Homo-oligomer: A and B are copies of this chain.
Amino acid sequence: MEIDLIELAKKSRSASNQLARLSTKTKNEILSAMAESLRSEEENILQANAVDIQSANEKGLSSAMIDRLLLTKERINSMAEALEEIVLLADPVGLMSDFKVRPNGLQVAKMSIPLGVIAIIYEARPNVTSDAAGLCLKSGNAVILRGGSEAFNSNVAVVNALHKGLEKFGVDTAVITFVPTTDREAMLELLKLDDYIDLVIPRGGEGLIRFVAENSRVPVIKHYKGVCHLYVDKDADIDTALRLLIDGKTSRPGVCNALETMIVHKEIAEKFLPLAEIEMKKRGVEIRGCEKTKSILPEVVAANDEDFGTEFLSLIIASRVVENYDEAVSHIEKFGSNHTDVIVTNNLRTSQRFIRDVNSSSVMVNASSRFADGGEMGLGAEIGISTTKLHAYGPMGLDALTTKKFVVIGEGQTRHKIQ
């Protein structure tokens, strides 16, 4: 099948203009209708999903992969509920800010507006289809969804259901456009369409994200990995440090805001490390220590240079003992990934320095790295996380899907005197 991606993106662009002008009330009614459609189309979605599951089994995909792919009545209902939760979020569009009056009487302000057209490129999970569509719709953006081949049939069925919700309100279904191919060449072509697409968000493994970043002419918001550090300062409360270590490393080791390295000030290392070793051992965590760590904890595995800067995503933590605060900050600069870094200290001045010196997207004092999350930080919903600094940095809420235009109101002012 030959697909005209330019035509598809043009239609999406044109539909985005209609969407940008809808009232909050209408957008919310559409979201509720889309949730209802998901429920009423449940049978079709489950049938399509069964086809995907069958071919996943035939291809011998891992059971973890297949579980991520699987839809059930309960999971479809959760997708519908997620849309209903988006109804409750504040509309990020049309907010005025930065008011000022110029000496010549001009009133200048900024107003938040949708970005326009957002492409989401993602892998297996079919719930991303409805989540992303809902968040883009609420923020007034048309979305172009390009899902992975494993979930192709499921995604088509979900999009069909969402379109039924849109049609009830006479809204152009191109506001939720599904790319009807998983061909890599087609993705490459899509990534060149910067005249029609304002932003690409890749969601998936590092390979996919690098491929998108390296080939896109459209701006990309991305994060590759989370190498999060816990710095236990000499003025740390040891019990707090242990709690943050346990929560950060063991509560969910496979996610990006889990800890990968602890950095310990030498003046507290002899007290802290033996207790840390006990807690880690109890929970099945392997410590890989630098030489100084090993001089205190002779039983731990010796860390090599690669262990620092690695996202283990498993029950392993690297440990480094530092001479002073500056060495800790330098370590984070060198090995960190701009995701989340934490200091444990009761020293006000050190905490202030850390906040100023470490420019990771989330910098924390005496709090678990696991709080680096849109929901936990009060953004209401999370469309993704950015560890590059342009446009958004850190967990992204709905407002990251908007930009601000200037609004100027005058009474006939001119820049030059008219003769």
Contact = CB atoms under 8 A, between A and B. Distances in A.
* Number of chain copies forming the complex: 2
Contacts of A357: 21
A415 B370 contact: yes
A286 interface: no
Contacts of A413: 366-368, 371
Interface in A344-393: 351, 355-357, 359-368, 370-372, 376-378, 388-391, 393
Nearest to A366: B410
Interface string A93-110: 010000010100010100
Contact of A412 (B214, B237, B359): B237
Query: Interface extent on A, as a size class?
Result: 35 or more
B410 A364 contact: yes
A388 B217 contact: no
Interface in A81-118: 94, 100, 102, 106, 108, 111, 113-116
A418 B246 CA distance: 7
B108 A378 contact: yes
Contacts of A356: 21, 94
Contacts of A406: 361-363, 372, 377, 393-395
A213 interface: yes
B393 A391 contact: no
A377 B213 contact: no
A368 B213 contact: no
A393 B390 CA distance: 12
A388 B194 CA distance: 10
Given A20-B359, A389-B115, A390-B198, A371 B412 contact: no
A389 B391 CA distance: 9
A275 interface: no
Contacts of A395: 406
A408 interface: yes
Contacts of A108: 377-378
A40 B212 CA distance: 49
Contacts of A247: 414-416, 418
Interface string A229-244: 0000000010110011
The 4 closest A-B pairs by CB, nearest first: A367-B410, A247-B414, A370-B415, A240-B412
29 contacts: A102-B377, A102-B378, A106-B371, A111-B355, A113-B359, A194-B213, A198-B388, A198-B389, A198-B390, A214-B217, A219-B219, A219-B388, A219-B390, A239-B412, A244-B414, A247-B414, A359-B405, A360-B405, A362-B405, A362-B407, A364-B408, A365-B408, A366-B413, A368-B413, A370-B416, A377-B408, A390-B390, A391-B391, A394-B404
